[in-house]
Structure 1
Amino acid sequence: MKTLKFRWGLTGKPSKRSLFIKLFLGFLTIIALLSSFNLIAFTVTTTHTREEIVKYNRLLLGNTVRLYEEQFNRTKSLLFNLYYDPKITALQLSLSMDQMNRQNYLNINQISNQIKSSVSNPALFFDNIIIHFKSGYIVDKSGSFDAVSMFTKELTSDNYSLAFWEQQFNERYEYKIMANDSFRLAPDQYQKELIPVLLNISPRRYQIIAMLDARLMSMMFHDMPGTELAILDRDGHVLFQTSDRLAVDRLAISRETPKQFELDDLYYFLETGQETGFTYITTFPIASINAQMQKLTYTFWLLLAVSVVIGLVVSHIFTRRLHRPVKQLVSSIMGDKPLALGSKINEFDLINEQIQHLLHEKQEILHDLVNQKSLLTHYGYIQRLKRIKTNLGDFKEMGAHTTFRLILYQLKYRSQPMPEPAQKPQQMAYAIKEYISLELSGQYPGSNTFQVESNQILSIIFDHEDSRQLEITLNRLKRVLDRDTKYCLVTIAASSVCHRSSQFGTAYEEVQERILCGKLVEETQILLDQHPSAGSQHSAFIADKENDFYMNLQAGNESICLDLMERMLHHLDTRQESALRFRQFSEGVVAKILAIAESAKINRLEQSELHSLMVHLDDCLTVEQLQQFFRQFISAAAGIIRAKKNEANDIASYVIDYLEQHYEQDTSLEQVASQLGMTANYLSTLMKDKTGQTFTDHLHDIRLRHAKQMLSSTNLSVQEIGEKVGYRNVTSFIRLFKKMTSQTPGDFRKSSKMNS
C-alpha cells in the first residue's frame, strides 16, 4: 500500500509520475510557451519600433512642410491681390502728387479695415500687414503712420530698422520671405517673433510687408514635444528655428545631404518644399527614442513577470483543485472505503458516485463468493472437464487429494408431469443433485457434486479404494431414486480408482463410455465395471431380413413387417444389447420407414400423423414399450402406403377409361394431369409403374385399335379414319401406324379383306 501511495503521490512528496506533478508541469509548459511567444513578439516589436518612430517623425515633417508651404502660398496670393488693389494705387498716386483729399482718407480707412480683416483671420497667422509707401507714408491694421514712427516706435527690431526697409526699395527682388526676428510692439514693448514677407514690385513706389506669427505657426504646424524645427531658404540661411541648440548653420546642407541622419545624439530629418524650395529640418533626440524603448522594455518585463507569477499561482491552485478529488478517488478505491468528495466539478462527483457504486457491488460480490465457495469449486472442476475435451494435457494438482473416483449420473426425464415442487426438469435435476451431495458428503468428506449438463450430474469422491462401500452407498441412492422412476430414470456409472490428478480426464472419459452400457429397464441402474461391446453396428436385422422388411413395407404388407420387427427386437434383447443400441436401431428403422412413406407421395396430413407417433419413441424405456411403439408406427405407415398404392391403381384405371372415351380428341398428358390435380411428371411415372406403359403408349394403342376396326369394317379413306381417331395429320398417322404394325393403313385394309 505504501508503494502504491508513493507512486500515486498520495503521501509525502508528490512522485514525479503523480497527477499533480504532471498537471503542474503541463501548465508550466504552457506558461513557458506563451512567455517564449511573447518574448519573441516583443523582440520583433522592439526591432521595428525604432523604425516606426523614424517613419512617424518623417510623416510629421511631411505634414509640417505641407502646412508651411500652404501658408506661404496663401500669404503670397493675398499680398499680390492687395498690391494691385485700386484704392492703394490711387492712394500712391495722390501721395506722389501731394494732393491728399477726403476720398483718399476714406480709402485709407477702407484699406486699414481690409488689412484688419485679414489679420483677424486665425487661419492666416498674420500679426500685421504694412503698406509702406516710398514717400514714407504707412498704412496698417491700426490706420496710417509715418515710416519713422512705425519702425522706431510701433514695430522695432534689431535686424529690421527703418533704414533696412527703405533700402529694400532699391533691391531687385519682388517677393521675399525673410528670417524671423524678435519684434517689440508698442505700447508696452511686448516682444514677438515674426517672419517678414515682403512684396516689392517694380517700379517700387510702395511695398507690402506681411508679418507672420512664427511661434503660432510653429505650434500649429509642428506641435510635437521633444522635437525642434528649422526652416532654411534656398541659400541655406536660417529663416526660422525653434531653438538655438540646432546649430543648423554648421550642417552645410546641400542636395547630397541625406534625408535623415544622426549627429550629436540627434536624429535629423530633412525635406524640401515644392513651392518655396525651403529646406525644413526637424530633430528628434536619440536619447528620447532610447528612453521610450527602455520604458517599453521595462513595462514588458514587468507585465511578463506579473503574468508568469499569476499563471504559476493559478496553475498551482487549479492543479490542486484537479488533483485533490483524484487523490480522494484513488484513496477511496485503494482503501475500499467510500469518501465524501466535496468537489465543485460535476464530472468528479459523477465518477465518485460510480466508484461508490462499484465498491458496493464489489463488497456484495466478495460476500457472495465467500458464501458460494462450493459453487466456484464446482465451476473449477467443470473447467477441467472442458479442458480435457480439448486435449490440453495434464492439469494442476487438486489440492492435497490424490486418490479419487468419478461418479456420473445420467438422467432420463419422462413425459409424465412431474410432482410438486419439481415441476420442471431443471428443478428435479437440482433436487437430485442436492440429495446426492448430501448423501456423499456424509460418507466421503471433501466430495463435490455438481451438474455438468442439463441431464448429467458428476460427483468426485476422494481417498476411496473400498469398492464394496461405494456399492453400498450407491444402492442406498438407488432405493431412493427408484421412488421417482415414473418421472425420471437415473443411470449411475463409476470410474476406476485414480491416484493422480492427471488421470482426471481419463476417468471422465471412462464414466462417459460406461454410462452408455445402460440397459432398457425401468429402474435406477448402477454400472461399476461394465464396458461397451466393440464392433456393434446400428442395424440389428437378421441376415437377408432387412430387405424383406422394407420390400413388404413398400407393398403395404403390415403383418409381415410386424412379425419381422418382433423378431428383430427379440434378437437384440437376447444379445442383451444396451439401451443405446436399441435407441440407434429404432431411430434407423423409423428414419427408413419415413423415407419409404415420403417416396409414396403421402400428403402433409399423413406425414404429420407419422411424426406425431414418432415422438413416443423417447418414452420407450423397455423392450415391451418398443414393441408396442413399432406396432402402432408400422401399422400406421403400412396403412398409409397401402392406401396410396390402391389410390394409384384407381388413377391408372381412370386414365385408361378416359382415353377410351376421348381418344378422338386432342388429348394430352398435361390436360389429364391437370384434371386429376397432379403434375404431368407424377402422372407419367404412375402410369409407367402401374401398367408398364407410358401415357402416350396407351393413347396410341387405343387409337390404332379403333383405326384397325374402321379399316376392316368401313370404306372411309385413310385420312378420314386418321382424323376420327385423333390424328389431324395423315402423314403422321400413316408413319405411326406402320411403326406399330409394320404395315401401312392401305396394306392392312387389303390383308384384312383377303383374310375375311
Structure 2
Amino acid sequence: MRKLHQLFLNKDRSTTLFLRLLFGFLCIILLLSSLTVYSFLVSKQNVRKEIVKYNTLMLNHTMDSYEKHFDMIKKQMQYFFLSEKAQSLHTNPRYIDFPVIQQDIIAFVSNAQLFVYNIVFYSKRDGLILEKGASTDVNTMFNVFYKNEAYPPEFWRGQFDADYSFHIFPAAVFGNHIYRDQQLTHGELIPVVIKKAGSSDFLMVVFLDSSKMNEAFHRTVNEDFMIYNDNGQTLFRRSAQGQFVDSAELRSHRGTAFILDDTYYFQVKGGGSGLTYVQRVPVERIASQTRLNITLIAALVISVAASIVISWVFAAGINNPLQKMIGAIRGENDVGGFRSSIREFNIIRHQIQDKNKMHKHLSFLHQLKAIRSPDEKAPSAFADKPFLFVLFHAMSGREEDREHSSFQTWLNYMNVCMEDRMAKAFPDSLTFRIENNQIVSLVYSDRREQLIALLTRLDHLFEQDKAFGTVTIAVSSVYDDSGQIADAYREVQRLVRERRMINKTQIVTEREEPQDAIGFTADQWKEFQANLREGNAEQLANLIKRAFGKWQGKEPTASALWEFGGDLIGKIKSEASPLVIGPGKLQAIFEHADSRMQVCMTMADLERLMIEWCTKASEAFKEKKQLKDPVTSFIVEYVNEHLAEEIYLDVLAERLNLSGGYLSTYFKEKTGMNIVDFINETRIMKATNLLADNKYKIQDVAEAVGYRNITSFNRMFKKYIGATPSEFRKRPDSDI
C-alpha cells in the first residue's frame, strides 16, 4: 500500500514552468550551436569549390548573354541593311528619303534592349554618310562628330575592301569635336560593320554602348572582365586593378579556370562569334571566405553564452507575472488590482473584467447585423425585454473634418458621455460607436417619453460643442421582441434622413407626414433645360435660388432635398452628350455627389453645391455652343434620336449629300473625335443614366442604346467608364 501511494505521488509530480522554459531554451541553443558548427565544417571544405563554380557559372551566363545579343544585332541589322529603303541610299540616294531612314534609326536607338547608340550608313560612291541626326561626309563624321585616333576616316575607307560581311571591332571612346573650346564624348562604343557579300562600296556601322551592355550582361561583384577576338585583339575591358595577361598566355591554358600570379582566371569561348570571355578574381579574395569562419566561430561562442543568460532572464520574466495571474484567476489575488509590465497579461485582465459586457455587445451586434441563424434562439440578455433604439448622428460642416483628429476625439468624448448618462438613467443599456460618425444606444425600457425628456435636457451639451459638429438624435418606437433589433436600427436610420437642414441639434421621434413633392414644376424644368443648353449659368443660379427661397418656410426634410438633387443631376446628364461634356469631365463634376450632398449641413450649403454643379455644366455647354456647326449638329441630333438602331456612316453621309470619307474627316476636324467614338460614348452615357434605375435589366439597357451583344456592351462600357455595368450599378453614387 505504501508503494502504491508513492507511485501516485511520483505520477502527480511536475516541474515548474520556469524550469521547463529554461530547459527548452537551452535545448534550442544546443541544437542551433551544433548545426552551426557542422555547417562551418562543411562550408570550410566546399567554399573554395563553390566560389570557383559560382564564377564559372556567372561567366557562362555573361558569355551567353553577349553571344545572344551579338547574334540578335547581326540578324536585325543585316535585315535593316538589306531592306529596300537602306539600299536606296546606295542605288538611288534622295534627300527626301533621308528622314524616313533616320526615323528607323531612331527607333532602333530608342529600344533600350538593343543598346544601339547610333547607326551610320556609308556609301563609297557618293561619299555619303547618314546617321540618326544628320547627313555628312566621311571626314566630317569621323574627324568631328565621332572622332577616335584608332578609327580615322582612312580606317573606314579601308573597310570596303575587307573580306567579311559582319565584323565586331574593339571598343573605343568616341568624342564630339564640334566645339573647339569644349570636347564632348559619346562614351565607350563598340563598332560593328555590316556589308553586303560581293559589294565593296556600301556599308553600315552600328555603334553599341559597351558600358550599358557590361552593366546588363556582366552582373557580378568582380569587375575584372575582358573580351578577346580570334586575332587576340581586346574588344572590351573592365579592370579594377592591374593589367590582364595577353591573349597568347590565355591560350596556353586550355582549362576554363587556372591560377596565374596569385589570381584566378576564368575563360570561356563563344560558339557563335568565336570571342573569348575572361574574368579574374584574386586568390586572396577566395581565401578570405575561408578565414571568415574563424571570426564566425568566435562570435558563435559569445552568442551561446549571451543566449543562456538571456534565456534565464526571459524565463523568469514570464514565470513571475504568470504566477500572479494564476493567483488572480484562482481568486487568491484581486484581478482588478493586478498590474503587469507585460501587455498581454494586462489584456487578459481586461478580458476577464469585460467578459460579461463583451458578451452583451456581441449579442447586440449579431442582432443588429441580422446575422443570427434562423434556428438560433435569441440571446438571454435580450429575451422578452422591451427596448428602444437611439441613434446619435454627428455631422461636420466640411466632409474632410469627419476624418480630422479633433472631430474623432469629440465623438469619442460624446460616446463616453452618452454611455454614462444612459447607464445612470436606464441600467443595462449599451452605448458604443458603430460607424465613423454614429453612436447607438440600446435602452431596455418602454418609457419612451422619459427617454425623450432626458435627451431634450442633454440638448445644451451638444449646442456647446457646435464648433466640432452638429448632432441629430433619432429615437425608435418601443419594441418587445429582441429579434426586432435590426428593424429598430433601420427605423432610426430612416428617421435621421427626416432631419431639417439647419445647423442645430435635432431630436427626431416620428416620421413626417408626406409633403408636397420638392422640385421644379414642368415649366421650371423646361426653363432649366433651355438655360443649360444656352450655357446661362447666372439664370440657372437664379432659378435654384428662387426655388430654395420658396422652400425656406416649408423646411423640407434632408431626404426630400437630396431627392431633388438627384433629379437635378439626372437632368444635366440626360442633356449632356460626349460632344458637350465628355464622360471624364462629367464624372469629375459629379464625383462623390451623394456624399457631398449628405455632408451639407444647411439648405444654404446644398444650394451652393447645386449652383456649383450647374455652373460647371453650363460652362461646358457654352464652350461647345460657340463651336456649333450645322453638320455636327445634325449628326448629334440623328445619333440621339436613333441610339437603339444600327447607325452607319454611309447613311449619315447620304443624308448630308457628302462622301463617307469627307464626312468622317470633317467631323474629326470640328469635334476632335471620330464619329464611331462619338456614337459609342453617346450610347454609354445614355446607358449610365438608364442603369441608375434598378428597374431596368442590364440586357434591356444594352438593347436600348443599340447593343445586341451583351459581351460587346460590357467591353465598351468598361472602356469608357472603367467598370462593367454590374460594377457601376454597385457604386454608392451610381444613382446620382
TM-score under structure 2 length normalisation: 0.39
Q: Which has the higher contact order (CA 8 A, sep 6+)?
A: 2
TM-score under structure 1 length normalisation: 0.38
